[in-house]
Amino acid sequence: MTFRAPVRDIAFALNVAGHGDLVETSFPDLDADTVTAVLEAAGAFTTGVLAPLNWTGDQEGARHADNKVTAAPGFADAYRAFAQQGWNSLAAEPEHGGQGLPKAMELAVFEMVHAANMAFGLCPMLTQAAIEALTLHGTERQKRLVLPRLVSGEWTGTMNLTEPQAGSDLAALTTRAEPDGNGGYRLYGQKIFITWGDHDAADNICHLVLARLPNAPPGVKGISLFLATKRAVLDDGALGEANGLWAASIEHKLGIHASPTCVMMFEGAKAELVGELNQGLAHMFVMMNAARLQVGVEGVGIAERAFQQALAYAQDRTQGKSAWGGASPAPIYDHPDVRRTLMLMKAKIEAARGICFMTGVLADQARLAPDPAARASAKARQELLTPIAKAWSTDVGVEVASLGVQVHGGMGFIEETGAAQHYRDARIGPIYEGTNGIQALDLAGRKLGMAEGAVMDALCAEMAMTAETLAARQDLAEAGQRLAEGVRALEAATDWLLNNRGTPSAAGATPYLKLAGDVIGGFVLGRQALAASGSDDPWMQARLPLARLYAGQVLAGAPGLVAAVTQGAADLEAVSAAALAG
């Protein structure tokens, strides 16, 4: 169950995603040597400090007693080391104590964190989302007293959305906020599934809570966002008394056992308004969109961890004869289907990594590009790619972790090998921060409708050009042909969705997202193969067969997905639940 942070893979994927150009144009004080040093230091920390806690954290988990949560053994010390070394502040604004590095670099570091210890990574991941929300919508007091401590990692942040009767339907939430007569509010209600809602790893926890005032409009239009801290924050920044909120319990989950998923009770908890009244959902979406990209990276990380373990096992486990000669019994890596499985796992990881990093680079360009048109273009493509990065990458996380169990055979089903933990941990990714079905609806609806499909059209045109470049090369011609076919399939599916909005497009949304992810993943691998072309380094040379394998195993199926997208909803409407039950 050893882990090695994939620093070289990450650095390569960043550069192909455009990070080098981004640094040159928008971060003049940052050079390639510093980028390399940051990634290598992150690799050392995640490999040496976080990875060894992954198995014990899963086995022992967080503990709850007397309405308080104790982190899994070793986690509190590891978190304090994480914060002290500055890993929490990478991309935050310098005016709030951050280092001002690119968002894409932060994503790269967090991929290593999630790969080393996914349950640990969820804590600073939610803090990053809280930082983004307060940076944009916090009051001057919140930016002065709270934001710097979140940036430093001295305090941690959470999102409080879900209630027992209100899952994804936030219009149904009932947590109420009552004015206290002094400019503040008191919160009353219950929130569930609150990741790292309580723990002993930091001095204070900053809860961002959705609630409604007694006279607020019904539905989502009456939701406001509030900040309620575990301990009061006095005007001089010192910590005061405990607030009226606590963890009533922690959930017993399929995986991520070391991440305390709390039921939070608010009984007159003191709170401050964040942003404007009745605009809470819009403000919270700042957190959710930041977390969605982070969850996509989380899918990449857990897939990487599962792949590394499966590859090591395949080289150690001997059985049968090698398909390519050599000793007998041979490592199972020398069996064609096992090697195909491992190469497909690797190719999908690289594709998902590239999609996430591309989206991260676009997020930086949307803030920092030199002219307004470039910023607007980057922002539009970032918004288009975010649901794909989140959903497709977390689906890859589950698939690769499942294949990792398969490579282990029967030993993968035994907990002691650790392969099962990665599969259990990965399964939450497609559920987090808006299920992947919700991401698909967002993509097929609002995101695809931006400029009547022009944003996706521009991406397809760029991918078609890459397909032409690949097809012109003898060693990548088939990959180019398959990518071109995939782009045409994506264009056809896009046109159909734009012409059949409403229920028909909703019915085809999930296969459409898969189609988009599959094709964009092939585009990423094609660009990587072109970047590696001509090198005599075996590690670089491997990028070409990975792109060709992906083209044959994944892109070849893209035209068939068009039928799933365009099937419509008539058959769905025709069959009742009673008919399915029999």
> Is 457 part of a structural domain of the chain?
yes
The share of the chain scoring above pLDDT 70, in percent, equals 100
Round to whole Å and give the CA distance between 136 and 134.
5
Cis peptide bond N-terminal to 329, omega within 30: yes
Condensed to tens digits (0 to 9), the pLDDT of residues 78-114 reads: 999 999 999 999 999 999 999 999 999 999 999 999 9
Round to whole Å and give the CA distance between 551 and 491.
18
So what's the pLDDT on residue 289? 78
Q: What average pLDDT score do residues 137-162 get?
A: 97
Higher pLDDT, 152 or 433: 152
pLDDT at 37 over 80: yes
Q: What average pLDDT score do residues 21-28 get?
A: 95
> Is 530 part of a structural domain of the chain?
yes
**Res. 29 pLDDT band, cuts 50 70 90:** very high
So what's the pLDDT on residue 2? 85
Among 315, 320, 298, residue whose Cα is nearest residue 407 = 315
The terminus-to-terminus CA distance of the chain in angstroms comes to 46
Condensed to tens digits (0 to 9), the pLDDT of residues 366-378 reads: 999 999 999 999 9
The answer to whether residue 276 is catalytic is: no
Round to whole Å and give the CA distance between 323 and 312.
19
> Is 248 part of a structural domain of the chain?
no
Condensed to tens digits (0 to 9), the pLDDT of residues 448-469 reads: 999 999 999 999 999 999 999 9
**Res. 158 pLDDT band, cuts 50 70 90:** very high
> Is 500 part of a structural domain of the chain?
yes
Q: What average pLDDT score do residues 303-310 get?
A: 98
Domain that holds residue 459: 436-571
Taking the mean position of all CA atoms in its chain, how far away is CA 145? 29
User: Of the segments 287-291, 306-310, 320-324, which one has the largest average pLDDT value?
Assistant: 306-310
Among 140, 134, 145, residue whose Cα is nearest residue 235 = 145
> Is 62 part of a structural domain of the chain?
no
So what's the pLDDT on residue 1? 64
- One-letter amino acid of 368: L
Round to whole Å and give the CA distance between 166 and 519.
35
Active-site residue identified among 132, 163, 433, 485: 433
Q: What average pLDDT score do residues 20-27 get?
A: 95
| Structural domains of the chain, count | 1
Q: What average pLDDT score do residues 409-413 get?
A: 97
> Is 539 part of a structural domain of the chain?
yes
Q: Is the pTM of this model over 0.85?
A: yes
The share of the chain scoring above pLDDT 90, in percent, equals 95
Place of tokens 């099962």: 420
> Is 443 part of a structural domain of the chain?
yes
> Is 384 part of a structural domain of the chain?
no
Q: What is the average pLDDT score of the chain?
A: 96
pLDDT at 65 over 80: yes
The pair of three-digit structure tokens given for residue 172, joined into one six-digit string: 């149904």
